[in-house]
Amino acid sequence: MGPGWRAPSAALVGGSVALFGVLRRAALALPRPAAVRSRPGRVWRWRNLLVSFAHSVLAGLWALFSLWHSPELLSDIQDGYSVSGHLLVCFSSGYFIHDSLDIIFNHQSRSSWEYLVHHAMAISAFVSLIITGRFLVAAMLLLLVEVSNIFLTVRMLLKMSNVPSPALYEANKYINLVMYFAFRLAPQAYLTWYFLRYVEVQGQGAFLTANLLLLDAMILMYFSRLLRSDFFPSLHKGSARRDVDGEKFLID
């Protein structure tokens, strides 16, 4: 991929930012549960999660279909290339930029700082992939995490809306755990092993490896939170006393 791709790619990323801006406005018009309407601090979080849910569905299924349709890409993680993968990385870069701006402009940086760190890592890594055309397959594997995020976001929306059906939450709880293993932990573990074993630790390879290892630590931390909250509530102390309406990440 030569420099001629850079301007169109920038336009695609910008178009994705605009698309998610439209989705954010559309989310404002959707009805909100009474539990959300009664707590002003939850309104932004609810709307933000709806946009996140839309990205997870689109990007997760996109990554899954692209890899299923072109499994030969998995044999060349460093230099494999597909137009679909390139477009997907541009699309998700736009989402991460939009979500970062949404957090900052709505004064949620303090409560959602972990998301800003995550997004900064993703944006910088994806921009390097778009410019060089290398490691796009690795990005597609990482974006399989969005399949898991579909059920993680549903979990958070159910908790916020106080849905009076514990069976629905219970069912999603176990599906979420399976998806977490299949689409978050497994691809992340494989890519970490691959980078440490095969990728030269210099230049872009060193930068992406460092990003990957930091992401490993974040994912394990969020996994421990999820287990404590949904499966070992006796270990989840103090959550009832915390006002987390504005917080975006998995802490409750």
pLDDT in tens, 188-228: 999 999 999 999 988 999 999 999 999 999 999 999 999 99
* Residue whose C-alpha is closest to residue 85's, from 63, 64, 56: 63
- Which range, of 90-94, 175-179, 180-184, 243-247, averages the lowest pLDDT? 243-247
pLDDT at position 166: 83
pLDDT at position 235: 72
In contact, 142 and 218? CB cutoff 8 Å: no
Buried b (16+ CB within 10 A) or exposed e, 49-82: bbbbbbbbebbbebbbebbeeeeebeeebbebeb
Q: What is the mean pLDDT of the chain?
A: 90
pLDDT at position 248: 52
Res. 245: pLDDT tops 60? no
pLDDT-based confidence at 237, cuts 50/70/90? low
Q: How many CB atoms lie within 10 A of CB 206?
A: 13
In contact, 148 and 179? CB cutoff 8 Å: yes
- Which range, of 34-48, 128-142, 203-217, averages the lowest pLDDT? 34-48
Res. 50: pLDDT tops 50? yes
Mean pLDDT (whole number) for 44-69: 97
248 — phi, psi (to 5°)?
-95, -30
pLDDT-based confidence at 5, cuts 50/70/90? low
The token pair that represents 149 in the structure block: 């995020």
Whether the predicted model's global pTM rises above the 0.75 cut: yes
Mean pLDDT (whole number) for 20-29: 95
pLDDT at position 252: 45
* Residue whose C-alpha is closest to residue 129's, from 95, 92, 74: 92
pLDDT at position 6: 66
SS3 call for 248: coil
pLDDT at position 236: 59
28 — phi, psi (to 5°)?
-65, -30
pLDDT at position 233: 82
* Residue whose C-alpha is closest to residue 67's, from 155, 136, 169, 154: 136
Res. 251: pLDDT tops 70? no
Q: For 75-126, how does the pLDDT look when each residue is reduced to its tens digit (9 = 90+)?
A: 999 999 999 999 999 999 999 999 999 999 999 999 899 999 999 999 999 9
pLDDT at position 182: 97
Domain range annotation of the chain: 5-232
